[in-house]
Amino acid sequence: MTTKQRPATTHSGQLGRIPHIKSVETRYLEEREALFRGLKGLDRRSFLKVATGAAGAAIAAGASYPFQSFLPVNVASADESRPHWTFAYISDSHLYDKQTNERFVRQLLRAVDDVNALDPQPDFVFYGGDLAQLGRKDQLDLGAQILKAVKAPVRMMVGEHDWFYDLGDRWKELFGPEHYSFDHKGVHCVVLMSVYERDFWTARALTPAERMHTVAGLDDKIQSRFEVGAPQREWLRKDLEKIPASTPLIVFSHSPLYKYYRPWNFWTDDAEEVQTILQRFEHVTVLHGHTHQVLTNRIGNIDFHGMLSTAWPWPYAPEGLPALTVQMSRPNPFDANDGLGDGTVTVHPDGLVDKLYALWNRNPMQVKASYLASGGKQDVPTAPLLASY
Amino acid sequence: MRSLTLPVLALAAAAAATVSAQSTDGASSSAATQSGKLVKLCDNQTTVRVPNGTPQTRTEGQKISDALMAQWEAKHPGNDWVAEELQAHTVVAPDDNAKLIGATQPSTYGPVSAQDVKVWDNETYKFAVYGSTVFHSGEALGSEIAVSCDMCHPNAANTHPETYPKFQPQLGRVVLLRDMINWCIEHPVRGKVLEPDDPKMRALEAYILAQRKGVPLDYGRR
């Protein structure tokens, strides 16, 4: 590009011209693109498909990763210290039907592209709940149809947005029981239904649609608090009875299995009771959806990680943020996909996990097991540029 | 939650007893076959019939009042939208001006009465509560994709109205809170932008500002 020197303005009082430079965003995106071109010799189309996944894989494999610039990254060491196994996650897509809102549909499709582009492929893709926005059949069916395009096996968890229209009927028809457990490569995995609510609808004579709408409002005070409930806690106790304490445990719950912020149901009312059941195990990791943000906590022997949403980000709550959480930067409203994403979890042979938040259009954030184990002293994630208000 | 006054409905009732609610069409209620006194609400439509010989006590009078109001409320669902909205969503209350009641150096309009303070309080709060209803409704915002403000901003969190005006490079100018509201309505919400003096815009500003009561102004902050 040839740039002609513009004649300098001489009128007194006129503001000086802004020099012709590329914006921060343009330079950032060019640097990022240059990195991935250099990595794999990709054309632009492939680059767009794999960018997030490749960044995640490079980081997960222990590549040194300068967070402020993409240029000097060395990924030659990417194949050393191969992790035991990985799984990917997608969460909180909040789909309406296609006609009502195609944006949330496109965003879920982007996440599906991300996990399909992962190389090597994850052992499975975990879906963290809130596939639908208002629990309707057409919304759940649409989600199920889109998730069929995921190449790896998909494991499902239910969220409150999937549940409170028909109290789980359609979701269970599509995806099976709302709580279950399975073993994978020496790790015992438990999927909970943590978003039961005490009946607030009968006394108010709410219709199913009104009940669902009430639960769908994060700051709606009429609804009850989330809970796992006594019957399921009993099921969990029985499920874990025969598992030795040395077996690594990964528990999935839609709401955080601790008490973060009650007014927004960033909360599970019987969290302590569930934690008590888990305390016996040496290595426990809980992954939860619902909070739509980078969120890290550790209580006793239990590590907690949030999952990103593909629909919209939530702000950090005004109080109760766990001390170990390094916030993601405040999402930029001018970028419709900022603060959103998906991610991967690397499970080490000892059962501890490194959690990768693959934020779209941003550098990924990784929260390592060593960060939690050291009480926040080692491998501290990079601080955000713009914190929450 | 604070108490909010309902529309004032004066009772014409004098006597009372066990009250039987009446079908409200005036024609049948005038039928001579029924004994007792017909009591009308100030809407001139709602009635109850009070049997003759009912004791004239406050308790019985309250029963008449309750029976009339129950009918009126059944005919006017949503009349108490302020209380309904406050059941669902927290709205920070305006400043308490009770300290001004009866103060010395009265203004041109005389000393401040408890009623003055109540009116200021009710009207101001109601405006912010109306803003909350708009904030929480994709329909009221005219969203084409069923998105409302609270989806990204529960309790108006992260709206930081105290940081405006500030230069917004993406819009190429210094923006006020209402410019950002309109940007959000147009883009994430996909509705139609509001005129600056549109009652919905004014109420949205009121609600958003109300939630940051007590936070120092800090214009230009990023």
pLDDT the model gives residue A321 = 96
Instruction: Give the pLDDT mean for B124-133.
Output: 98
Instruction: Note the pLDDT tens digit of each residue in B70-95.
Output: 999 899 888 889 999 999 999 999 99
pLDDT the model gives residue A61 = 58
Q: Long-range contacts made by residues B196-201, C-beta under 8 angstroms, separation at least 24?
A: B199/B130, B200/B134, B200/B140, B200/B141
pLDDT the model gives residue A5 = 52
CATH number of B86-210: 1.10.760.10
User: Do the Cβ atoms of A334 and B170 come within 8 Å?
Assistant: yes
User: Do the Cβ atoms of A220 and B88 come within 8 Å?
Assistant: yes
pLDDT the model gives residue A3 = 46
Domain A83-373: which CATH class? alpha beta
Contact status, residue B100 vs residue B117, Cβ threshold 8 Å: yes
- Phi-psi group of B15: left, alpha or beta (phi > 0 → left; psi -120 to 50 → alpha; rest → beta): beta
Which portions of chain A are predicted below pLDDT 70?
Answer: 1-21, 36-83
pLDDT the model gives residue B200 = 98
Place of tokens 């494999």: A61
User: Do the Cβ atoms of A386 and B154 come within 8 Å?
Assistant: no
Chain A: closest CA distance from residue B88 (Å): 5
Which residues in chain A touch residue B88, judged by CB atoms under 8 angstroms apart? Answer: 214, 217, 220-222
User: Do the Cβ atoms of B157 and A103 come within 8 Å?
Assistant: no
Suggest the residue from A219, A223, A327, A386 to mutate for an interface test with chain B (most B CBs closer than 10 A).
A219
Instruction: Note the pLDDT tens digit of each residue in B192-206.
Output: 999 999 999 999 999
Where residue B10 falls among pLDDT bands split at 50, 70, 90? very low
Indicate the residue of B88, B145, B184 with minimum beta-carbon distance to A221. B88
Instruction: Note the pLDDT tens digit of each residue in B97-122.
Output: 999 898 777 677 788 899 999 999 99
Indicate the residue of B136, B153, B183 with minimum beta-carbon distance to A315. B153
User: Do the Cβ atoms of A219 and B222 come within 8 Å?
Assistant: no
Closest to A287 measured CA to CA, from A244, A333, A249, A322: A249
pLDDT the model gives residue A144 = 98
Contact residues, B window 45-84, toward A, CB-based 8 Å cutoff: none
pLDDT the model gives residue A103 = 96
| Residue A356 tokens, joined | 């990768």
pLDDT the model gives residue A206 = 96
pLDDT the model gives residue A39 = 57
The verdict on A330 touching B (C-beta cutoff 8 Å) is yes
The verdict on B173 touching A (C-beta cutoff 8 Å) is no
First to last CA, chain B: 33
Domain locations in chain A?
22-81, 83-373
